[in-house]
Chains A and B, each alone.
Chain A
Amino acid sequence: MRVKLQHAAHVRSGDKGNTSNITVIAYEPDLYPILKDQLTADKFKAFYAGIVTGKVTRYEVDKLGVLNFVAEGALGGGVSRSLSLDNYGKALSAAVLGFELDVPEKLGNLLVNFRTPSA
């Protein structure tokens, strides 16, 4: 079934210069391989088109079920130069919660705050 990332993972963003890092953390270990397989660096960059202008690097921390996306050129030049209302990019991580994932039905019970339409 197709679900929004917000049911499978939680996120936090941080800033350094003109680079934003968005950490995607699987709610449960069994959901991590799905994130790792489907939320690639390329898909992440395409999803943030219009915001992220530079390279996206994905770091994997298998032991903790964490993907860390480091997005260059994401903060309009950095905090002091940015023309964005959210000049630290603190709210940027929320967007990826809307990324759509294919999750096998049998893992549906691991999703947070999610009810299948038929249930």
Chain B
Amino acid sequence: MALRIGSGSAWWGDRLEPAKLNAEQGDLDYLCFETMAEATISAAQVRKRRDPSFPGYDTYLDDRMSRVLPGCLKRGTKIVSNQGWINPEGASERVVHWLRELGAPKGIKVAAVNGSLITDTVLDHADTLMEDGRPASALKGSIVSAEAYMGAEPIVQALKDGAQIVITGRVADPSIFMAPMMHEYGWDALDHARVGHGNGIGHLLECGAQVTGGYFCDPGFKDVPDPWDLAFPIAEVESDGSAVISKVKNTGGAINIRTVKEQLFYEVHDPANYITPDVVVDFTTTDLEEIGHDRVRVTNISGKPRTPTLKVSIACHEGFIGEDMFFYAGPGALRRAELAKKILEERFKIVNLKAEDVRVDFVGLNAIHAGVSPKDQPEPYEIAVRVAARTKTREEAMKIGREIDGMAVSGVAMTGKRVPHQDRTREIIGVWSSLVAREAIKPVITMYES
């Protein structure tokens, strides 16, 4: 019998229903959640500082757990999730709360895996920044948060210790989905062939619907049935790490060679050397076979020995962005937008805007593909003029909104403008990467019981 591992989320804002569906109808051994982007932890730190009552874990923890726990308890499905963010212990206590609320039996173990946050000590361990080669110490004084990407091992330990639910801080995305394979099949952490295959399958699951037809449909080229009703994927994993990617029957979306290929290389740089904390994955040897409706068999992903280091994300205060937009429509819309741009450029000189960079886009013409946008397109009927600037201080960033307000009555004919209803500045939390020795990271497991 293959091990059945299902996806519950690909990020914090992901849909809730497909996780419930997987819990109830996926016949799963494990349901795994990925809930972070690169900047999620630093955003949580910033919010915690502004609002001490913010608990620091996934703000959808209650929504996700209350939906999936009944199905998981019924089937005995275990849960692995990185919803703990900066407070895995608090998240675990909240899960225990839900277990009791739902009348679960006493004695169900929930493990909090912490240890990825190294904000206070990162400069003792990190050497150079991967982006520009500067010493990490250059960030001193601006660091908001630093966290290492842990691998699967502490999750495996928590499962060995009897946890039915494991809640972690930062763990590398594929490792969350691979830890159950390591635990159930008893793979050694240094068995790079199996761990490599397992991590590759984890990579296919970590983005949820991106392998079941999400982020894929392109009408006329790649059509997907019922794309409003996508199911999250399930991997049926064998003891060697090979797997069939599938989903609950009678749901929307599609799993085929094309969806699997797109996800296989998503956010991968060198396909022969995809570095995770557990292993270096080589995707170039992969074989894919459609073996049935919405069923793709994935075999022969390779693995190479893991690196001696772990990646650390270091988030820093870096200034502010001011941003706003206004609109033109009808004949001559582009001509008026171009004059508005010229007026703003002159105004920025008059108010002495001190910005590191300013960008003025014509949304509907060139905002997304900039210089690649075709020059000879017909004039658009509508144009939004969008202005954004990066500045050192909030006061400078606020000048963008102020100058756009001026366009309401002192600008070009027939300017469409929104009433300013919100702060049009935001703080930049820049993310830098570095490497630390594995030994610098000490996972801490705390066990709770229902």
Chain A interface (Cβ < 8 Å from any Cβ of B): 6, 10, 12, 14-19, 21, 23, 25, 27, 47-51, 57, 59, 61, 63-64, 66, 68, 70, 77-81, 83-86, 91-92, 94-95, 98, 112-113
Within 8 Å CB of B285, what residues of A?
63
Q: How distant is the Cα of A51 from the Cα of B366 in the complex, in angstroms?
A: 11
B376 interface residue (CB < 8 Å to A): no
B372 touches A59 (CB 8 A): no
A63, B431: Cβ atoms under 8 Å? no
A80 touches B431 (CB 8 A): yes
Interface residue stretch chosen among B110-118, B213-221, B415-423: B213-221
The answer to the question of B272 belonging to the interface, with a C-beta cut-off of 8 Å to chain A, is: yes
B85 contacts partner chain A, Cβ-Cβ < 8 Å: no
Chain B residues, CB < 8 A from A83: 321, 323, 357-359, 388-390
Smallest Cβ-Cβ distance to A19: which chain B residue: B269
* Cβ contacts under 8 Å, B371 to chain A: 49-51
Of B131, B218, B358, B386, the contact of A10 (CB 8 Å cutoff): B218
Establish whether residues B428 and A81, one from each chain, have CB atoms under 8 Å apart when the complex forms. Answer: yes
B residues 365-385 touching A (CB-CB < 8 Å): 367-372, 374
Q: What 12 new A-B contacts, CB under 8 Å, besides A14-B266, A59-B270, A78-B431?
A: A10-B222, A14-B268, A17-B433, A48-B372, A50-B370, A51-B371, A51-B372, A59-B272, A81-B428, A83-B321, A85-B361, A91-B368
Q: Give the 4 A-B residue pairs with the shortest CB-CB distance, closest first.
A: A50-B371, A14-B267, A83-B388, A23-B265
Residue of B nearest to A14 (CB): B267
| CB < 8 Å neighbour of A61 from B220, B283, B433 | B283
With a cutoff of 8 Å between Cβ atoms, the chain B residues found around residue A25 in the complex are: 258, 261-262, 265
Residue contact B265 to A66, C-beta cutoff 8 Å: yes
Query: In the complex, A78→B38 CA distance in Å?
Result: 10
**In the complex, are the beta carbons of A15 and B267 less than 8 A apart?**
yes
Docked complex Cα distance between A85 and B368 (Å)? 7
Q: Which chain A residue has the least Cβ–Cβ distance from B321?
A: A83
> Considering the chains assembled together, what is the distance between the CA atoms of A17 and B431 in angstroms?
7
Q: Is the CB of A21 within 8 A of B268?
A: yes
Which residues of the other chain, B, contact A48 by a CB distance below 8 angstroms? Answer: 372
Given the complex, which residues of B lie within 8 Å of A86, measured CB to CB? Answer: 367-368
- Please give the distance in Å from A28's CB to the nearest CB on chain B: 11
| Interface mask (B20-41 → A, CB under 8 Å = 1, otherwise 0) | 0000000000000000011100
